[in-house]
Amino acid sequence: MSEAAHSYWSASKFESLMLCPGKIVLEEGAPDNTNSYAAEGTAAHQVLTWALQEERPAAAYIGRVLHLDNRGKVCDPDTTKVEFTFEVDEDMAAHVQTCIDYCLDLKGDDGVLFADIRVNYSSYLDVAHDTAWGTADVIIARGTEIIVVDFKYGRGVEVDAESNPQMSLYGLGALQGYNGLVADFDHVRLAISQPRRAQAP
């Protein structure tokens, strides 16, 4: 069965679902809008994906313009109403490069890196396959270790990987998808790259 357009058990919203199990029902039909801060983070994530998939430095995308819709999704301005526009500048490229360097260091010479990869963790939640999935920023398979890296572009408030429900689900999804296929993993490492954490919001 193919996965739906939206994950019912979204990893990014799972912590709030743990605190309020009725959240999905209460928000059903409500507008799925975003703000400029979240949209800027999405733009930076897109640069990270391009750079890792195309094996280029983040600076190669300086000057490129990204258009996002009201949900904060990268869109085609010719076919979709644009809500946010960001041009990749030196500052954004430098922060994205910090994450790139971190990921490449974790990968080393013998690892395999996957960028912007969908993972499914439904078997661990005991729910239907097409209702529980998310998109991990980076997954690295190296030896018997699988590493999940989450790129956070926010400032001021540091995000911790420890006891992080979103990261935990990504780790479980990586195990569900890659254990035995890429290698036999005996542990998972969860890591967050947040290069702007020390800046004031």
The answer for 137, left when phi > 0, alpha when psi is -120 to 50, beta otherwise, is: alpha
Q: What is the pLDDT of residues 95-115, one digit of tens each?
A: 999 999 999 999 999 999 999
Q: What is the pLDDT of residues 17-50, one digit of tens each?
A: 554 555 554 456 555 567 888 899 999 999 999 9
Local confidence band at 3 (pLDDT 50, 70, 90 cut-offs) = very low
Mean pLDDT, the chain, integer: 85
Return d(Cα 64, Cα 1) in angstroms, integer.
37
- The partner residues of 189 in beta bridges, in order of sequence, read 147
Return d(Cα 25, Cα 18) in angstroms, integer.
14
pLDDT value of residue 22: 53
For residues 20 and 128, the model is more confident at 128
- The partner residues of 87 in beta bridges, in order of sequence, read 65
Smallest Cα–Cα separation from 95: which of 35, 133, 48, 144? 48
pLDDT value of residue 180: 73
Local confidence band at 201 (pLDDT 50, 70, 90 cut-offs) = low
